[in-house]
Amino acid sequence: MRRFCPSLEQELESVSKEILKEAFPESAGCPHYHFLCLLAKQGILNREQTQTIIRNLCAEVLFDLCCSDHLSFRLDTTGSLSPHLTILSISELLDSIHRELSLWQTLNLKPVYLDQMPRLDLPEVLERQVSKPIFSQWQKIFQSQQTLRELAGTLGKSPAEIGRLLMPLLRQGIVSMQPTSDMKSSFLEEPEREDPATKPLIVCIDDSEIICETIKRILIPEGYRFLGIQDPLRAIAQVLSQPPDLILLDLVMPSSNGYEICAQLRKVPRFRDTPIIILTGNDGIIDRVRAKLVGSSHFMNKPVQKEELLDIVRTYLSVKNAL
């Protein structure tokens, strides 16, 4: 969706599983297909977008099957998908997959990388090799903790293009590919019945969309509410309107900095005891001391690590609740 229809994020928020069931009672057997049918029926997706998404989803599945060593096959003739949204040519799909596999082989990339995350192992080496803006862009990519396939969707490129950019870094050992066992929950799962207002609200003030999205993906499945604020100039007003239980605050931002925002928050009685965790890519003693002087509760390095983040959040929220 992000790759082929990047402007539809807001429209998608209006579609729920209840609406899907009402429009297509038979959707339980293949909910994702009928979700596309619903988007097409409501005019959110046009005919060309719908066909492009279906064709590329089928190509991805067939690509993965072609790369697998162990397969079993069963033909299901009990039903068919309805309504029909497009007609696919299997021979054309296989031709495109063959070209994709040839490209991966030419680039010396392993197809298994598709569902693995790139990790920056030697940041100091990469920093010496590229300009500061390029290094900053690479850092944001690695901090997002996305698989190669997810990165392709986020950046609007093909997985092979992302792999081609990573290959020189992989050869030098600057970057390694790491398997992930995290299963992404489907947006079509049943909504939780718990009152969301009872969940702790965590705010992240960071100008990087990738950082906010990464932290959101970590916290939401763990039962927390999340609000990402990417405009530091509006941060104070937003947290005043939605007081959080914990604040994650980036140290370096274009129009402001974490020291100033932290100091201003501590002047507000409502936030004197709110945990404020400083996020930074610089692990310097001066930064730590200065952050402590303006009232920060903790200092956490980027890239954000899932277990470290959850440990810090649980620790400070349990202390806050005990007060």
More confident residue, 2 or 41: 41
Distances (CA, A) of 195 to 36, 187, 192, 222, 307: 29, 18, 8, 15, 26
Enter the tokens of residue 107.
């680039």
Of 160, 172, 78, 73, nearest to 120 (Cα)?
172
For residues 1-23, average pLDDT: 69
Q: How confident is the model at residue 312 (pLDDT cuts 50, 70, 90)?
A: very high
Query: Is residue 192's pLDDT more than 90?
Result: no
Range name among 84-88, 161-165, 185-189 with the lowest pLDDT average: 185-189
Task: Report how far residue 55's alpha carbon sits from residue 88's, in angstroms, rounded to the nearest whole number.
Answer: 7
Please name the residues in contact with 26: beta carbons below 8 A apart, sequence gap of 6 or more. Answer: 34, 82
Phi, psi of 113 (to 5 degrees): -60, -25
Query: Is residue 276's pLDDT more than 90?
Result: yes
For residue 33, the model assigns a pLDDT of: 83
Cis peptide before 196 (omega within 30 of 0): no
Range name among 49-63, 182-196, 224-238, 262-276 with the lowest pLDDT average: 182-196
For residue 191, the model assigns a pLDDT of: 46
For residue 153, the model assigns a pLDDT of: 77
pTM of the entire predicted model: 0.50
Which amino acid is located at 49 in the chain? Answer: Q
CB 300 within 8 A of CB 278: yes
Task: Report how far residue 315's alpha carbon sits from residue 317's, in angstroms, rounded to the nearest whole number.
Answer: 6
For residues 162-184, average pLDDT: 81
Task: Report how far residue 147's alpha carbon sits from residue 221's, in angstroms, rounded to the nearest whole number.
Answer: 18
User: What digits encode the pLDDT tens for the residues 203-250?
Assistant: 999 888 888 888 998 999 888 999 998 888 888 888 888 889 999 998
CB 116 within 8 A of CB 178: yes
Phi, psi of 298 (to 5 degrees): -160, 165
- 197-322 topology per CATH: Rossmann fold (3.40.50)
Query: Is residue 40's pLDDT more than 80?
Result: yes
For residue 38, the model assigns a pLDDT of: 84
Enter the tokens of residue 146.
């996305």
CB 215 within 8 A of CB 226: yes
Of 102, 92, 15, 7, nearest to 46 (Cα)?
7
Beta bridge partners of 120: 175
For residue 248, the model assigns a pLDDT of: 94
More confident residue, 45 or 16: 45
Query: Is residue 29's pLDDT more than 80?
Result: no
For residue 178, the model assigns a pLDDT of: 85
Average pLDDT, the chain: 81
Query: Is residue 292's pLDDT more than 90?
Result: no
For residues 148-153, average pLDDT: 84
More confident residue, 185 or 23: 23
For residue 225, the model assigns a pLDDT of: 92
Distances (CA, A) of 304 to 9, 79, 188, 221, 309: 25, 46, 28, 16, 7
